[in-house]
């Protein structure tokens, strides 16, 4: 019996129209375009301004693109996995809300909370469901409305984040393509450097938590940067070695877009030229679980069947990982 693999057979994406540029930020905090550009590579981000819209609405836009491209009946979707740290509500899961909005009446679904590595965690879980034969059509969506949890008076964090969604469809294949291998890690001792202080069962929302601004992202940037640089580069290199690959074999590095300097460190570590790295951080900033699928969506036309891709991420948790994919179409 031939091995069943999970192949990405379609991608979709969505970013809101409204832009928040470095020049806009210069007007509201003590910063400069020059500082933001040289420290992060970001020039602008997209913001979902409509107060009636949430993460599920961006995810729905991304998934609808897949449904249209593949002429897929939503009733045929088996499972929806949504990676996000900005769910519409604490419960029910955003995946359930997405399923309802797109009419995926036969699907089950759930959310994955793994911050910037969320899409990789969700992709690997979805792939396992397909490889096992349990499910035939799995939607994996990475989405975050970071503007909902960013303190726009905190110049150390508000410059980084933006809103957006990217989605993929996973289907079974017996060809030598699809999700080939993965390394995923986490270390909860890193939580103290990047978290949201209140709104969970430890510190439920109260007048005090709101007044103390505890419902925003708390990040010690320098610490996170140090762990991210080594974490993302080391795991990418380890994955290549495990699969007897070198940078020469790789067509594309698809890195989480948190900071251009972190991306460069990973690229240098696995010996790739700049042209082989998917980059859109200058346009969208860090959309957390959205970054990797949004990259795939934007670069889709440049991908060829059989291309070897390394997807790599590092983020809150700490969580990190790398996934080796052979492009399927």
Known catalytic residues are: 116, 256, 286
In the complex with ligand UT7, the residue whose CB is nearer, 129 or 289, is: 289
Of 19, 26, 39, 64, the residue at the interface with ligand UT7 (CB under 6 A) is 39
What distance in Å separates the CA atoms of residue 123 and residue 231, rounded to the nearest whole number? 19
Least Cα distance to 58 among 163, 194, 198, 147 occurs for 163
Q: Is 319 in the site for ligand UT7 (CB under 6 A)?
A: no
Q: Is 27 in the site for ligand UT7 (CB under 6 A)?
A: no
In the complex with ligand UT7, the residue whose CB is nearer, 93 or 259, is: 259
In the complex with ligand UT7, the residue whose CB is nearer, 34 or 50, is: 34
Q: Is 94 in the site for ligand UT7 (CB under 6 A)?
A: no
Least Cα distance to 173 among 140, 210, 206, 127 occurs for 127
Of 43, 101, 155, 308, the residue at the interface with ligand UT7 (CB under 6 A) is 155
In the complex with ligand UT7, the residue whose CB is nearer, 29 or 210, is: 29
What distance in Å separates the CA atoms of residue 57 and residue 88, rounded to the nearest whole number? 9
Task: Name beta bridge partners: 45.
Answer: 20
What distance in Å separates the CA atoms of residue 17 and residue 49, rounded to the nearest whole number? 9
What ranges in 206-288 are assigned the alpha helix state H?
A: 207-211, 221-242, 260-269, 281-284
CB 140 within 8 A of CB 170: yes
Of 204, 211, 222, 248, the residue at the interface with ligand UT7 (CB under 6 A) is 222
Within residues 277-306, the interface with ligand UT7 by CB under 6 A covers 286
Closest contact distance (angstroms) between CB of 286 and ligand UT7 is 5
What distance in Å separates the CA atoms of residue 295 and residue 88, rounded to the nearest whole number? 23
Within residues 100-139, the interface with ligand UT7 by CB under 6 A covers 116
CB 317 within 8 A of CB 294: no
In the complex with ligand UT7, the residue whose CB is nearer, 31 or 186, is: 31
CB 241 within 8 A of CB 293: no
Of 14, 119, 121, 225, the residue at the interface with ligand UT7 (CB under 6 A) is 225
Within residues 261-280, the interface with ligand UT7 by CB under 6 A covers 262
What distance in Å separates the CA atoms of residue 309 and residue 209, rounded to the nearest whole number? 43
Residues forming contacts to ligand UT7 in the complex (CB under 6 A) are 31, 35-36, 39-40, 116, 155-156, 159-160, 221-222, 224-225, 228, 258-259, 262, 286, 315-316
């Amino acid at each position: 019996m031939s091995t069943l693999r999970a192949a990405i057979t379609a991608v979709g994406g969505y970013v809101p129209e409204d832009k928040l540029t470095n020049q806009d930020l210069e007007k509201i905090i003590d910063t400069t375009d020059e500082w933001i550009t040289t420290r992060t590579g970001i020039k602008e981000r997209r913001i979902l301004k409509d107060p009636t819209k949430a993460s599920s609405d961006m995810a729905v836009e991304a998934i609808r693109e897949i449904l249209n491209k593949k002429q897929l009946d939503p009733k045929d979707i088996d499972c929806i996995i949504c990676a996000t740290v900005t769910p519409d509500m604490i419960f029910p899961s955003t995946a359930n809300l997405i399923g309802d909005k797109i009419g995926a009446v036969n699907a089950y679904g759930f959310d994955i909370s793994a911050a910037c590595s969320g899409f990789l965690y969700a992709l690997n879980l979805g792939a396992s469901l397909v490889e096992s034969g349990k499910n035939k059509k799995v939607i994996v969506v990475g989405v975050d409305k970071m503007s909902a949890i960013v303190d726009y008076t905190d110049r150390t964090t508000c410059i980084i984040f933006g809103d957006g969604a990217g989605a993929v469809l996973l289907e079974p294949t017996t060809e030598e393509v699809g999700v080939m291998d993965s390394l995923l890690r986490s270390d909860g001792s890193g939580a103290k450097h990047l978290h949201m202080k209140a709104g969970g069962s430890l510190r439920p929302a109260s007048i005090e938590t709101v007044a103390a601004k505890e419902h925003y992202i708390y990040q010690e940037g320098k610490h996170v940067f140090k762990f991210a640089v080594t974490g993302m580069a080391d795991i990418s290199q380890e994955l290549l070695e495990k699969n007897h690959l070198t940078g020469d074999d790789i067509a594309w590095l698809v890195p989480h877009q948190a900071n251009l300097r972190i991306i460069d460190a990973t690229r240098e570590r696995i010996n790739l030229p700049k042209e082989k790295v998917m980059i859109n951080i200058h346009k969208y900033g860090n959309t957390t679980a959205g970054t990797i699928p949004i990259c795939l969506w934007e670069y889709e036309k440049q991908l060829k069947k059989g291309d070897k891709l390394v997807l790599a991420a590092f983020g809150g948790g700490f969580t990190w990982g790398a996934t080796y994919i052979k492009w399927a179409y």
